[in-house]
Structure 1
Amino acid sequence: MRDMIFRAFILVTLIAATFRCSSDVDVSLPPVEETPYSGELIGPPDTMADSQAVKGGVYSVWGSSYPRSLNAFVDNNSTSSDIMGLQFESLVVMDSAKEEPIGILAESWTVSPDRRTFTFKLRPEAQWSDGRPITSKDFVFYYDTIMNPKNLTTVFRIDLSRFERPEAPDDRTLIMKAKEPHWRNFWAVAGMTALPAHDLEGKDFNRVDTFSVTSGPYQVAENKVNRFVLLKRQPNWWGRKLRYNAGKYNFDYIRYRFMEDRDKALETFKGGMFDAYAIYTAKIWALQTDFDQVKKNWIIKQTIHNREPRGFQGFAINLRRERFQDLRVRQALGLLLNRQTMNEKLMYGQYILLNSYFPDLYPGYVNPARPVTAYNPEKAAALFAEAGYKVNAQGKLEKNGQVLKVSFLTSMTDLRHLNLYVEDLKKVGIDASIEQLSQSSIRDRLNNYDYDLYWISWGSGRLKDPESAYDSKQADIQAGNNLPGVKDAKVDALIESLKQETNSDRRTALLKQLDDRLVELQPYILLWQSDATRILYWNKFGHPEKPFGLYNREDAIQVYWWYDADKSKALEEAMKNGTALPAEPAEIRE
């Protein structure tokens, strides 16, 4: 434990840093100067954006662990996806409030009567950051890049594999032909990203980390591995001409700072080095968020509820390992996880215990037709015995002379949950251990399915397509999303039925059937989920009426929020005088 003098020194240092950073001024970063656009805006607006938003300022966000690559196509993680999403654009996006297509790089499109041929007409205004026009050939290059088996683009190949190679009869026309019917075919091609062929051709795409030519509102200006990534707003971004982008992408700079330890990240946030800090650890929210800056409203503490699609988190069980192919072993492992106690003692009852792989299909994220698996070591012991395991003289579970071993792969620094689980596994004779590695090392291991159990949190989406996560054909493809290696005829049949179903209500019914089958197979040990986003942020920002929109979480800040000079000045004055600012709502519901 630190001594009191050292803790006092840290506190003084952090307070000083807070005063230095509170005004959002970074003398090393000049304002982005852009030529005002006075032309008529094109297309419909984004109803989640605010017309009062202003450009300027620096937004610093905690990026957790530095990813293996900033190229999200070869390292499919949330941070890289956020950074890539600010640099590149797709043909079409789904409207932020309705399930309707909004053209971005495409100004129009047609769909053949059999819904197998999709023809897009590109916007003549669309151009790369180096001023060259974005053409249909850039989408052909994207297709060839993703479909190249040498590239670690496995997850993205699933959708594209349903299509013939694109046709580009001219620079502004792109034709995509589906090999087979699928309800997501339109959205699969609509989500295609243009990649700059003139810049990337001939390069090893697996080694492309940052991009010198982009199409989106931001571009990487500086990258310090394991420290930070600085994005700079494109001063003459072509997308300013779209009404859908009005009031969005307001910060001059976005700085992702990387720090693995959540507790250290919180202290750094208090010191002003991060502008916002989303909290996914219940202990931190319950015990470490009522500090002085929060009480004086210099930092806003809010719980935000909206309709964000919620996935699940759980321990992926590697079914490629022979000892985990016995369902009774997987069931027993699930019975030895004391979720209830962990939620009560470690997470202060803030989480919903899961019994579904698609929790957002059900009210309250819980399927009322089945119970949540309860801790039951006696039943677990009986299942191990049925599976042929006996306790040997050393107190270890053994079968055919082999001790049952379970290793947890993790990059987490907070091991409270894992330690409790490991202890409960050891009590029944399992040789359980924890292997801590960097996130980049873990990504390499996962790409090659070299693990026993891995704790992962999966997101969800407004359009659910479980093919990449559970289809048998994806089980042994390197760098895929079918982490457990699920191979099941019933699962495959349900996924095949989903592909053909165009009615959303019937798709939901099929997803619930798939959910039932996955619960039977137990490729994951399900954990828990939150029903809201909990966030702290410095009181110097403007934001829309719905801070995270209808379907987003804290990543909406980079898109919709803005630096408010008046709020920043009021914050600085309050901090100098030690006075409180007016309170903000503690809870927001859409």
Structure 2
Amino acid sequence: MRRAGGALAGAILGLSGVIPAMAEPSHGLAMYGEPELPADFSHLPYANPDAPKGGTFVTGNTGGFDSLNPYIIRGNVPWQLRFMTVDSLVYRSQDEPFTVYGMIAESIETGPERDWVEFTLREEARFSDGSPITVEDVMWSYETLGTQGNARYLGLWGLIEKMEKTGPRSVRFTFNSDDRELALIVGLRPILKKAQWEGIEFDQPGFDVIPITSSPYVVDSYEAGRNVVLKRDPDYWAKDLPIKRGIANFDELRIEFFGDQNVLFEAFKAGEISFVREFNAEKWDRDYDFPAAQAGEIVKSEISSERPSGITGFVMNTRRAPFDDIRVRDALLHAFNFEYINEAITGGKQPRITSYFSHSVLGMKDGPAEGRVKELLAPFSDVLAPGALDGYTLPVSDGSTRNRANIVAAAELLNDAGWPAGDDGIRRNAAGEALSFEILLRQGDQINQSIIDIYMDALERLGIEASVNVVDNAQYTSRIETFDFDMTDIRRQVSLSPGNEQKLYWGVESADQNGSRNLMGVKNPAIDAMVDAMLASRSSEDFTAAVRALDRILTSGRYVIPIFMYDKGRIAHDAKLKYPEELPIYGDGVYWLPEVWWMDPEG
């Protein structure tokens, strides 16, 4: 990488002072300071402007799909479509903590307090059918997505006080809250073609309407439940813009569907798909010595990253008993023998996630809260979990099979919570109800199923009647969207510039909103207050303190049983696939693979 981690830490912690006002329209906008790239930049630093065009890139999904509209709450859609088939007013750089550059918008203008932002559209901006992208399309897209779209779009609409056309090609958004991030994130929404949806119910799933794209790719064909084919648009309007040089290099993107991860992996070994991401370090070392790899047709690439760990593990639904009791959640964390499980699953090669922002300068510090972090948390001491102020660390086992000390601690916590063990060993409350819950997993998720198989033994020893229900993707999606689960898997990636999305993940308003990402159902005003402090911060020091305070609240709340960290990207791929030597600070992700990769027919 062109930067060491320390350089990034210095960049985040070293910026201070009031965010400068924008006196005139600019080519980009940064959360703090100025954009790294000048107005006359030639291409993104992690893209190869000379990358050849051509070839077919095949990616594999498990399960199936019943819709091609990724913008609504209903339907099971190939997840890649919302990234690959639409452009936004701005494009987010993967090489800066949070900076956007004009995409459909040729310029961005905002006031000193960032309580409004104005975008001027490029005159040449077009949809894939050749029609111009207009201010009317922009305004219709924002209102429709904000009122009928997926839950990920609803929150922003409520923060827009006024949206108005200010010129033939310009639109201004005025905000109703002290939230400096809004000027950046408002430009990242999909822009759809208004005329396509006239007389059509926008929120209905299915294949009747395939959204007209504004991106380098268009949907060329599909076979329901089996595959979707995207073709690169040779007339794509933005192909020569600096922001798009070296991006979208494949002529065809194919999304193929398989029954489960094992079948997908066999297809990869047979050359039917172009790559796999491996999340298990033990399998990475053990299972990639098949004939195609031995022949050099498949190669392995490890991609470093400076992003925070995020949270991956098993989430407990606090909307339901017994997970509405932190003592029960704490007991289940003690019962989870991570050290033994990690050795069994990954050979002990992957570190554990210790907090939501661990592995970064934004992660909470050990010990009691100090300084600005303590100041932020102190007013909420009455609603904070034990350890938020005084310090909290995850339970650690001795690595043995029995995990005896932590099982004893878990039993004591359950006793305190009113779930003593009876003569038959089963734990029951005062009403005689057994302590039982269901663990919901999706079909084909071998890693999580293997982890839960080990965990079930500890739950049985504690006298808990737990069951595992493995369902197909459609059932899983339906149940998750309506919070119809007790415990299930969770993975939330976070960035070096967390912001409004944190309220979608664990904010009060999203807790009971079907389709929201607040799976644990947490309703803690301290969380919203920390996010507000992040968004209102004028310096990176205040911002970092607010994130660390948020990290303490979430981690000490014992909502998730964290597992191992995906500390680097592990990608096995066709040897003909290439990527630039210079990596972005965010490492691997959908905006890097396949965006900046290309096919070298010579291998």
Fold shared by both chains (TM-score > 0.5): yes
Stretches of structure 1 that go unaligned for 5 or more consecutive residues are: 1-40, 568-590
Correspondence list, 1:159-558, <5 A: 159-208=156-205, 211-362=210-361, 368-369=366-367, 370-375=392-397, 376-399=406-429, 400-413=431-444, 414=446, 415-465=449-499, 466-546=502-582, 549-553=584-588, 555=590, 556-558=592-594
Deviation readout 1:441-494 (Å, 9 max, x if unpaired) = 111111111100011111112320221112112111111111111112322322
Task: Write the letter of the residue equivalent to 1:411.
Answer: R
**1:482 to 1:552, Cα distance in 2 relative to 1, 3 A:** same
Residues in 1 aligned to 2:489 and 2:495: alpha-carbon distance in whole angstroms: 20
**1:260 to 1:292, Cα distance in 2 relative to 1, 3 A:** same
User: CA offset at residue 80 of structure 1?
Assistant: 4.2
Residues in 2 aligned to 1:367 and 1:286: alpha-carbon distance in whole angstroms: 33
Residues in 2 aligned to 1:284 and 1:207: alpha-carbon distance in whole angstroms: 41
**1:314 to 1:367, Cα distance in 2 relative to 1, 3 A:** farther
Worse overlay, 315-324 or 462-471: 462-471
Residues in 1 aligned to 2:76 and 2:225: alpha-carbon distance in whole angstroms: 16
User: CA offset at residue 288 of structure 1?
Assistant: 1.0
Task: Write the letter of the residue equivalent to 1:50.
Answer: N
Structure (1 or 2) with the greater helix fraction = 1
**1:351 to 1:517, Cα distance in 2 relative to 1, 3 A:** same
Residues in 2 aligned to 1:309 and 1:201: alpha-carbon distance in whole angstroms: 43
Contact 1:53 1:542 in 2 (8 A): no
**1:360 to 1:82, Cα distance in 2 relative to 1, 3 A:** farther
**1:412 to 1:468, Cα distance in 2 relative to 1, 3 A:** same
Residues in 1 aligned to 2:282 and 2:258: alpha-carbon distance in whole angstroms: 19
TM-score, normalised relative to structure 2: 0.82
**1:107 to 1:478, Cα distance in 2 relative to 1, 3 A:** same
Residues in 1 aligned to 2:211 and 2:530: alpha-carbon distance in whole angstroms: 43
**1:457 to 1:123, Cα distance in 2 relative to 1, 3 A:** same
- Look up the match of 1:30: none
Residues in 2 aligned to 1:260 and 1:528: alpha-carbon distance in whole angstroms: 25
Residues in 2 aligned to 1:77 and 1:483: alpha-carbon distance in whole angstroms: 19
Contact 2:355 2:551 in 1 (8 A): yes
- Look up the match of 2:150: 153
Worse overlay, 381-390 or 279-288: 279-288
Residues in 2 aligned to 1:351 and 1:70: alpha-carbon distance in whole angstroms: 36
> Structure 1 segments of 4 or more deviating over 6 A?
76-79
Q: How many residue pairs end up in the alignment?
A: 523
Residues in 2 aligned to 1:42 and 1:520: alpha-carbon distance in whole angstroms: 47
Q: CA RMSD in A?
A: 2.3
Residues in 2 aligned to 1:176 and 1:360: alpha-carbon distance in whole angstroms: 36
SS in 1 for 2:509: helix
SS in 2 for 1:469: helix
- Whether 1:136 and 2:135 are equivalent positions in the alignment is yes
Worse overlay, 265-274 or 354-363: 354-363
TM-score, normalised relative to structure 1: 0.84
Contact 2:114 2:180 in 1 (8 A): no
Residues in 1 aligned to 2:235 and 2:348: alpha-carbon distance in whole angstroms: 49
Residues in 1 aligned to 2:259 and 2:461: alpha-carbon distance in whole angstroms: 31
Task: Write the letter of the residue equivalent to 1:459.
Answer: Q
Residues in 1 aligned to 2:168 and 2:189: alpha-carbon distance in whole angstroms: 16
Residues in 2 aligned to 1:80 and 1:458: alpha-carbon distance in whole angstroms: 18
Task: Write the letter of the residue equivalent to 1:83.
Answer: L
- Look up the match of 2:378: none
- Look up the match of 2:15: none
User: CA offset at residue 54 of structure 1?
Assistant: 1.1
**1:171 to 1:439, Cα distance in 2 relative to 1, 3 A:** farther
Stretches of structure 2 that go unaligned for 5 or more consecutive residues are: 1-38, 368-391, 398-405
User: CA offset at residue 51 of structure 1?
Assistant: 2.7
What percentage of aligned pairs have identical amino acids? 26
**1:308 to 1:226, Cα distance in 2 relative to 1, 3 A:** farther
SS in 2 for 1:557: coil
- Look up the match of 2:32: none
